[in-house]
Amino acid sequence: MTKGDLKPLQEKLKKLLHDIYFRLLLTDPKSRKVIICESPLAPVALKRIIADLLFQYFQVPSISFVPIHLMALLTTGTTTGLVVDCGNLETTVLPIYSSRPLVPYIATTPLAGRALTQRLESLLLEHGRFIPSSHLQLSLAPQNPMPRSVLTPSVLENLKATILFCSPLMMDRKEVQADLVAGYKNFSSATDVYYPVVLEDGTKATLLIPGWIRERTAGVLFEGDEEDEPSVVHCILNAILKVQPDLRRPLMSSLLLNGGTSLIPGFQSRLKQELLRVMRDPTPFEKKRYASLLRLQNSVRFIDSPEDNKGAGRIFMNNVRGWIGGSLMGSLKLSGEELARERYNGIVTDWSINHWATSPPPPPGTSSSTSEISASSPT
Per residue in 320-379, pLDDT tens? 999 999 888 888 776 567 888 998 888 887 766 544 333 444 555 544 433 333 333 332
Strand ranges (DSSP E) for the chain? Answer: 34-38, 62-67, 81-86, 91-97, 100-101, 107-109, 129-132, 144-145, 193-198, 204-209, 255-258, 338-340
Tell me: do 102 and 167 sit in the same domain: no
Residue 143 located in a structural domain: yes
Q: How far apart are CA 102 and CA 96, in angstroms?
A: 6
pLDDT (tens, 9 = 90+) of the chain, 379 residues, equals 555 678 888 999 999 999 999 999 999 999 888 999 988 888 888 899 999 999 999 999 999 888 899 999 999 988 999 999 999 999 999 999 998 999 999 999 999 999 999 999 999 999 998 888 755 566 656 678 888 999 999 999 999 999 999 987 776 655 555 566 776 777 777 898 989 998 888 888 889 999 999 998 998 999 877 777 899 999 999 999 999 999 999 999 999 999 999 999 999 999 999 999 999 989 898 999 999 998 998 999 999 887 766 555 678 899 999 999 988 888 877 656 788 899 888 888 776 654 433 344 455 554 443 333 333 333 2
pTM (two decimals): 0.84
The parent domain of residue 212 ranges over 113-220
What single-letter DSSP state applies at residue 333? Answer: T
Q: How many structural domains is the chain composed of?
A: 3
Within-domain flag for 345:
yes
Distance CA 335, CA 198 (A): 47
Domain contains 36? yes
With respect to residue 314, please indicate whether it lies within any of the assigned structural domains: no
CB within 8 A of 216, min separation 6: which ones?
167, 184, 187, 188
